[in-house]
Amino acid sequence: MKAIQLSEPELNSVLTVIPSNFTQARRLVEHLADNPNAITSTVARTCGIGNISDVARKVNPTLFKRNLFISCRRPVIPIHNKFGEVSNMFEWGIYHLPPEPQNSLDLESSAQNN
């Protein structure tokens, strides 16, 4: 899957389903809408969020209403910290939900064939 960029109308549509008092989630969505594959440190600093995964986990059920979700992945080329050590940085983005559940059985078809 590939992180997506949201147009202004798409972003506005998404923001209508996020409660206005959930400001961290709104800042996160606004940032990722323009910056797919943003690095953890940049997201945390720009959005003022200490625990990005917690905010993403809490807002995802709301984003599902627009067939979207926030997730992260390890970068293909690891990011090193200032000491040359591999850091625990991820790339964050907004993704489209797949049209159907992946790796699942079609239970109705299976039941009819038996």
Any idea where the domains of the chain sit in the sequence?
8-113
Amino acid found at 67:
N
* 30-58 mean pLDDT: 97
Distance CA 40, CA 42 (A): 6
Helix (H) or strand (E) holding 39: strand 38-39
Report the pLDDT value the prediction gives residue 76, as an integer from 0 to 100. 93
Tokens of 80: 């090193």
Report yes or no on whether pTM surpasses 0.85: no
What is the structure's pLDDT at 1? Answer: 85
Please choose, from the candidates 37, 61, 36, 40, the residue with its C-alpha nearest in 3D space to the C-alpha of residue 52. Answer: 40
Check if the beta carbon of residue 90 is closer than 8 Å to that of residue 72: yes
Is pLDDT at 113 greater than 60 in this prediction? no
Whether the predicted pLDDT of 109 surpasses 60: no
Percent of the chain with pLDDT over 70: 87
In the predicted model, what is the mean pLDDT of residues 34-43? 97
> Can you give the pLDDT at residue 103?
61
pLDDT value of position 101: 62
User: How large is the average pLDDT for residues 69-89?
Assistant: 94
